[in-house]
Chain A
Amino acid sequence: MPAGTAADAADAADAATAAGLSGRRDPGRMTARFPDTAPGHGSRDAVGLLFAEHRLGLLRLGVLLLGDQRAAEDVVQDAFIGLLRHWPRLRDPERAVAYLRASVVNRGRSQLRRRAVARRVGVRYEPPVWSAESAVLLGEDRRAVLAAVRRLPPRRQIVLVLRYYLDLGDDEIAETLGIAPATVRSTATRALRALGDLLGEEEA
């Protein structure tokens, strides 16, 4: 994949952001160049490269969304398989990481939705990684914060994770979720207000 000026600029911007004031935790570059985008071996190489570079970061994102490492591994795995399948038709391979991130968020949200129906058949899930039994080392305050986040509606949870874990800007969150930047802002504001109330109540 030839490197274009725009891609260079995006890389530079992302690298600057990654190393900059925001302390962004996005796992590596937002764009990537690949030796070959043709279907077959080349796409496997390209996706393999992304897998090596971004799997850990995406897995962490999945754990934050689902609270369950196994489920997060499945979601991330599915996202890469989806990318591999769609690679030949990917309009802009430079945006593959953004695609993967959106895919993890979307599949995670889908799984959260589906859990509701699953309850009817008695499916039970592992306790969240931040539950008392699995994260003693996290500390009470962090667990309280995470438990409160967990009580928010899914969209608010996701916006908070994208903003305060990945340090994405409102435009990037909007692109990831397919909503307007203004909606991101209002969702985040409501989420913070609700969270504050909730923690205040719980701390009282």
Chain B
Amino acid sequence: MTALEDRLRNAFAAVAEIVTADDLAFEPDRALPGRRAHARPGERAGDGAGPKRRIAPALVVGVILLVVVGVVLLPRLARHTSVTPAGVTVTVAPSASPGPSVSATGADVLPDRYLVALELGDTGVRSPQLTVRDARSRSVTATPAPPDGIEWKAVAAAQPGTFYLLGDDLRAHPSWWLYRLVLGPAGRVASINRLDAVHVPVVPEPWLAVSPDGRRLALPAEYAPASLDAPPAMGIQIVDVAIGGVEREFPNSVRGYLTDLSWADDGRHLAFQIDALLHPEQPVPANPSSRAGLWILDTSTHSTLFEGSRQPVTGQQAHDEGYISPVLSPDGTRIFVISRHAVADGGLAPTRVVELDAATGRQLRVLLTHPVPATTWMISELALDPSGRWLVAWGGGDQGLTVVDAATGHTTRFARLSLAGYGALVTW
């Protein structure tokens, strides 16, 4: 045995011994049926819910900030100057096009579609939960449960009423499967089928995008695992949904996390993001990767990932600033994205949904600004309906869904999701 192995054994044993039998409230009859039954005497059930414990004070601060921002700071922020990570100065001002207006109802204008949200829950408190909502009535029409032993990991919309889900088989290691969810009348579940022919590569974070015709699936693939000092090298596989085979592959050897896949309506161009925002617990490069940013891949090419792609937005920072969740407009000319850039004085920064020119990366409009500037992303997920008009944004700050009419800038508060914790993925 080497000295290093000795040190490992010694360190592991020392940590394990931190947990002693005294820490255990051994009451199996009480502990087994309920998920929080192991709370120690004096703790409220749910006290240990981790993120939840930090949400209450955050909400109080949020409310105070909301008042302050509304009364004092908002007029100043309207002309505030931001500095992008790349050092490019961008004047963040309300859109020149019709400004956002907020509707409390909006039922008359929302599309006749179903919105699917995958709430990721919180291990030990709530399992991931999939909910289907009628966009007009906002009522939950279905909560499709996964098959036994499966946990939903990601969701993407295809044609109206058809959605694709990634399911993680908790009994296998690691094993992801593709499922097709078809909705019937009134948004009820008509069927959920596993597509056994499709091999889903396991990557650090699950993402998927279905082409507008529902025929092809874009999946991230890992070509080199993360190393001590660098993220993995990831590319894209285009899979034929009907036969399950890899139709085209875009390999890559440059390291960086690949996320947020989004098709244009032509079924040819595919937006994706390379960053190191994910896995901050893993080592990330000290400087932003030269490949970091938003990319658009021409899937008709036979090339490596970056040879077949162009980069409208460059210089994304590795950590807490930049753009996340890019969505390509159906015509491929614009990118909708969540933006959060550090303000020049280093203070709290607002989170926004903005529209970028897909060719140049130039910011065209600000569509939505979260009212609370913060040190984190107050809006974290974004999805566009196939018509290219309706954006739905989800924010961890208040767990609320907001629908933005990209044509008019009209904003409608839609619903709040029920689970706190790890976030949510939305699509429609």
List residues of A whose CB falls within 8 A of some B CB.
25, 44, 47-48, 51-52, 55-56, 59-61, 63-64, 69-75, 77-78, 80-82, 84, 86, 102-103, 105-107, 109-126, 129-130, 135, 138-139, 141-143, 145-146, 149-153, 155, 160-161, 164-165, 176-179, 192, 194-199
Q: In whole angstroms, how far apart are the Cα atoms of A1 and B277 in the complex?
A: 51
Q: B1-17: which have CB < 8 Å to A? A: 2, 4-5, 7-17
Report Cα–Cα, A121/B175, bound state, in Å. Answer: 26
- Asked if A74 and B125 make an inter-chain contact with CB atoms under 8 angstroms apart, the answer reads yes
Digitize B56-74: 1 where CB-to-A-CB distance is under 8 Å, 0 elsewhere.
0010000000000000000
B19→A165 contact, CB < 8 A: no
- Residue from the list B124, B205, B225, B397 in contact with A116, Cβ < 8 A: B205
Query: Which of B120, B148, B149, B281 has the most chain A CB atoms closer than 10 A to its own CB?
Result: B281
| A164: chain B residues within 8 A (beta carbon) | 5, 8-9, 12
Interface string of B95-136 (1 = CB under 8 A from A): 000000000000000000000000010011100000000000
Residues of B within 8 A of A86 (CB): 148-149
Query: Cα distance A78–B121 when bound, in Å?
Result: 13
CB pairs A–B below 8 angstroms (22 shown): A55-B26, A63-B18, A64-B16, A69-B23, A77-B35, A77-B37, A81-B35, A86-B148, A103-B170, A106-B173, A109-B174, A110-B123, A117-B205, A121-B423, A122-B397, A123-B423, A124-B54, A130-B11, A153-B226, A164-B9, A165-B13, A178-B175
Closest CB in chain A relative to B326 CB, distance in Å: 13
Are A51 and B28 in touch, CB under 8 angstroms? Answer: yes
Give the chain B neighbours of A177 by CB distance below 8 A. Answer: 173
Roughly how many angstroms separate A109 CA and B202 CA in the complex, as a whole number?
13
Within 8 A of A (CB), among B315-364: 324
The yes or no answer to B164 lying at the interface (CB within 8 A) is no
| Chain B neighbourhood of A196, CB < 8 A | 4
Chain B residues numbered 29-86 whose CB sits less than 8 Å from any CB in chain A: 29, 31-33, 35, 37-38, 48, 50-51, 54, 58
Q: How far is the CA of A164 from the CA of B2 in the complex (A)?
A: 12
Interface of B is mostly: loop
A107 near B5 with CB under 8 A, answer no
Residues of B near any A CB (own CB < 8 A): 2, 4-5, 7-21, 23-24, 26, 28-29, 31-33, 35, 37-38, 48, 50-51, 54, 58, 120, 123-125, 148-149, 151, 168, 170, 172-175, 204-206, 225-228, 277-283, 324, 374-377, 380-381, 396-397, 421-423
For the complex, what is the distance from the CA of A25 to the CA of B29, rounded to whole Å?
A: 26
Q: A63's contact among B16, B54, B227, by CB below 8 Å, is which? A: B16
Is the pair B423, A118 in contact by a Cβ cutoff of 8 Å? yes
* CB <8 Å contact, A77 and B31: yes
Given contacts A48-B28, A121-B422, contact A63 B19 (CB under 8 A): yes
The answer to whether A77 touches B124 (Cβ under 8 A) is yes
Q: Are A48 and B29 in contact (CB under 8 A)?
A: yes
A120 near B123: Cβ-Cβ < 8 Å: no
Question: Cβ of B9: which chain A residues have Cβ within 8 Å of it?
Answer: 164-165
Q: In the assembled complex, how far is the CB of residue B2 from the closest CB belonging to chain A, in whole angstroms?
A: 8
CB of B15 within 8 A of CB of A135, answer yes
- Cα A164 to Cα B225 in complex, Å, equals 23
Closest Cβ of chain A to B148, distance in Å, is 8
CA distance A176 to B174 in the complex (A): 11
Q: Which residue of B lies closest to A115 (CB)?
A: B281
Q: Considering the complex, give the chain B residue whose CB is closest to the CB of A75.
A: B123
Residue of A whose beta carbon sits closest to that of B381: A120
Residue of B nearest to A150 (CB): B281
Given A73-B48, A77-B31; 14 other pairs, CB 8 A cutoff:
A56-B19, A56-B24, A59-B19, A60-B15, A64-B16, A106-B174, A114-B422, A115-B422, A116-B205, A119-B278, A120-B396, A153-B282, A179-B173, A192-B2
Contacts of B149 in A (CB 8 A): 86
Q: How far is the CA of A105 from the CA of B224 in the complex (A)?
A: 23
Are the CB atoms of A75 and B124 closer together than 8 Å? Answer: yes
CB-CB under 8 A from A113, the residues of chain B are 204-206
Chain B residue, CB-CB nearest to A121: B396
**Please, which residue of chain A has its CB at the minimum distance from the CB of B320?**
A119
Structural contact, A106 and B170, CB atoms closer than 8 A = yes
CA distance A141 to B54 in the complex (A): 32
The answer to whether B376 and A74 touch across the interface, beta carbons within 8 angstroms, is no
CB–CB A160/B175 < 8 A: no
Whole-angstrom CA separation of A177 from B172 in the bound complex: 8
| Residues from chain B with Cβ under 8 Å of A124 in the complex | 51, 54
Query: Which of A138, A165, A199 interacts with B4 by CB under 8 Å?
Result: A199
Contact B23 A146 (CB under 8 A): no
The smallest C-beta distance from B339 to any residue of chain A, in angstroms, reads 13
Q: Could you say which residues of chain B place their CB within 8 Å of the CB of A179? A: 173
Asked if B377 and A122 make an inter-chain contact with CB atoms under 8 angstroms apart, the answer reads yes
| Distance between Cα atoms of A52 and B24 in the complex (Å) | 10
Q: Are A195 and B4 interface neighbours, CB within 8 A?
A: yes
The answer to whether residues A123 and B51 also contact, given A75-B123, A113-B205 and a CB cut-off of 8 A, is: yes
From A70, A78, A113, A139, residue with most partner B Cβ within 10 Å: A113
| Chain B residues closer than 8 Å to A44, beta-carbon distance | 29, 32
User: Are the C-beta atoms of A117 and B48 separated by less than 8 Å?
Assistant: no
Q: How far is the CB of B3 from chain A (nearest CB, A)?
A: 10
Q: Which residue of B lies closest to A72 (CB)?
A: B19
Are A146 and B32 in contact, CB atoms less than 8 angstroms apart?
Answer: no
Which A residues are in CB contact (< 8 Å) with B175?
178
Q: Which residue of B lies closest to A103 (CB)?
A: B170
Kindly provide the distance from the CB of A32 to the nearest chain B CB, expressed in whole angstroms: 14
In contact, B18 and A116 (Cβ under 8 angstroms): no
Q: Which B residues are in CB contact (< 8 Å) with A120?
A: 277, 324, 377, 380-381, 396, 423
A165 surroundings in chain B (CB, below 8 A): 9, 12-13, 16
Q: Nearest-CB distance from A157 to chain B (Å)?
A: 11
Residue of A nearest to B39 (CB): A73
